[in-house]
Amino acid sequence: MPEAEPQFPQSMLEAVSFAARAHQGQLRKDGKTPYLSHVFRVCLVLRDLFDIHDDKALTAALLHDTIEDTTTDFDDLEENFGGEIAGWVAALSKDKRRPEPEREDAYVEQLQNAPWQVQVCKLADIYDNLSDLGSSSPEKWSRTFKNAHRYLDGLKANLAEQAREPWNLVSELLATMEAGETGRSGGA
């Protein structure tokens, strides 16, 4: 008997299509990998590693970079996915109009005050960004580690119960990678 095909809610299928259009032509920092692969991996980390099966959270994961990294705005998401998901994606987005230090502080604060669905989406995003470092430059490793620490430390202060285990998984990955990087770079 063939295995049953997984069923995905219509909102997730629409989010895949929306994200594909929004991120069309974008590449990851390596200049080769389609950006959309990151969006899919974040959703898969959320579902398969963090064991989160909340359809709205998975939909938000697929859309998590649309406001920050495309021409999509809150109204576009609200019209297509409703106010709750649009609000979650907005909470996952940095306000690029602000200067860098102020922007990061405001972003950490909005993550701290966000619903658990937003917090676990951000944790999945951090997890994927760490997992995707590969042969990146030492500067990229350093910047990614710094950001991961900033977000993990900020989230720890006001972590929702549903986000505790994912937070632990991301923290363990970060510690393991830092230990490996320290050994690889001779303690630098």
Catalytic residues: 68-69
- Nearest Cα neighbor of 67 from 13, 107, 11, 100 is 107
d(CA 84, CA 125): 19
Phi–psi pair at 44, nearest 5 degrees: -70, -40
- Nearest Cα neighbor of 129 from 160, 154, 150 is 150
- Nearest Cα neighbor of 80 from 16, 23, 36, 136 is 16
Give the number of other CB atoms < 10 A from CB of residue 30.
11
